[in-house]
Amino acid sequence: MAMLDISDPSQISRWVRDGRLTPSRRIGSGRNAPMLFWRIDIEHMADELRNELAQRIARIDAARQAS
C-alpha cells in the first residue's frame, strides 16, 4: 500500500473489482482470500495514479489562472 500511497486497503479491492488491477494469485479460497500482485503491475498503477494527480492539479491551476 505504501507504493500506491493509499491508507485504505479496500481501495485495492475496488481497483480489482473495476479491472484496474489484476491479482496474480490468491492465497486460499473465498471472498476474503488475500491477493498477491506482480510488482510491475503495482508500479504501473502507481505511475497511473501520479499521472492522474498531475492532470487534476494542472486543471485546477488552469482554472485559477483563467479566473
pLDDT at 2: 83
* Residues 6+ away with beta carbon under 8 Å from 1: 7, 9, 12
Domain that holds residue 42: 10-66
In a domain, 3, yes or no: no
In a domain, 2, yes or no: no
In a domain, 4, yes or no: no
In a domain, 16, yes or no: yes
In a domain, 5, yes or no: no
In a domain, 24, yes or no: yes
CB 39 within 8 Å of CB 46: no
Q: How many domains does the chain have?
A: 1
Beta bridge partners of 26: 35
Predicted model pTM:
0.77
In a domain, 22, yes or no: yes
pLDDT at 48: 93
In a domain, 32, yes or no: yes
pLDDT in tens, 31-59: 889 999 999 999 999 999 999 999 999 99
